[in-house]
Amino acid sequence: MSDTITVTGVIATEPKHVVTREDLRITSFRLASQQRRYDRAQAKWVDAETNWFTVTAFRGLAENAEASLRKGERVLVHGRLRVRGWTSGEKSGITIEIEADAIGHDLAWGKSEFQRVPRGAGQDAEPTEPADGSEPAEGRESAEAPDYGAESELVGEPVGATPF
């Protein structure tokens, strides 16, 4: 069983991107997550301790992370938690890692612009439409955006199904 975790924080190091000899794309960075709490005795907000995580993304997520993330940006990370002990000479410690399934900017702190990356032959996810142009296999959705009706949702009730 793997433990999942969602963490918000600040990217503390410039994301590092590598490609292995086996063509596996990996992007990693350190994430500082610090909570704040209101101290009634002092009548002010105080910072709690900072938790440090090493975040690692693989394949397509790694490529998108490399192109989108920079040191100092606030992000949300969702993934699998790994706690590992380490020893180096006389020193030892614990490393807390998150193998990311999803990463995004924290929109409570700013704006972000999404740009969909088309999945091609070089991508890891299987294509959503057959390459020969035939209909998608049953149970698989087309890559096109769904049609929610002829009338704009901003003007009135949509004619078709709503997205939520």
Beta bridge partners of residue 5, listed in sequence order = 79
| Residue 135 maps to a domain | no
Question: What is the distance between the alpha carbons of residues 150 and 70, in angstroms, rounded to a whole number?
Answer: 40
Question: What is the distance between the alpha carbons of residues 17 and 6, in angstroms, rounded to a whole number?
Answer: 22
| Residue 30 maps to a domain | yes
| Residue 45 maps to a domain | yes
| pLDDT tens digits, one per residue of 125-141 | 444 444 445 454 444 34
Which among 98, 73, 76, 95 is positioned nearest to 84, based on CA atoms? Answer: 95
| Residue 154 maps to a domain | no
Per the structure, the count of domains in the chain is: 1
| pLDDT tens digits, one per residue of 81-127 | 999 998 999 999 999 999 999 999 999 998 988 888 887 644 554 44
| Residue 93 maps to a domain | yes
Question: What is the distance between the alpha carbons of residues 148 and 161, in angstroms, rounded to a whole number?
Answer: 5
pTM to 2 decimal places: 0.67
| Residue 150 maps to a domain | no
| Residue 78 maps to a domain | yes
CATH of the domain at 92: 2.40.50.140
The DSSP call for residue 109 is S
Could you list the residue range(s) of the whole structural domain that residue 36 is in? 3-105
| Residue 159 maps to a domain | no
